[in-house]
Amino acid sequence: MTEVLADTAPGESVSLEQVPDDDVRARLLRLGFLDGTVECRHRLRKGPIVLRRNGTEMALGADLAAEIEISRAGADR
């Protein structure tokens, strides 16, 4: 079963595995969000998800978060 970023809870760490939008993937790569685990800082109900990595925070819309596939930190690949 594929998990998506929209399923994460605040405080949870995940790795972003598949980002469907090329522009968003390039932006996340430049900011280092694809190089390791990211922390879900906040999640607004039916709203954006705020991610944090190395002191940088970024908000992603709920629709985009529902399309980004993740793996849980510590889960077998």
Q: Which domains can be identified in the chain, with CATH numbers?
A: 3-72 (2.30.30.90)
The DSSP code sequence of 3-50 is EEGGG--TT-EEEEEE---HHHHHHHHHTTTTSSEEEEEEE-TTS-EE
**Tokens for 52?**
């944090």
pTM listed for this prediction: 0.85
| pLDDT digit string, tens, across residues 10-26 | 999 999 999 998 999 99
- Gap between the Cα atoms of 13 and 52, Å rounded: 9
pLDDT at 75 over 70: no
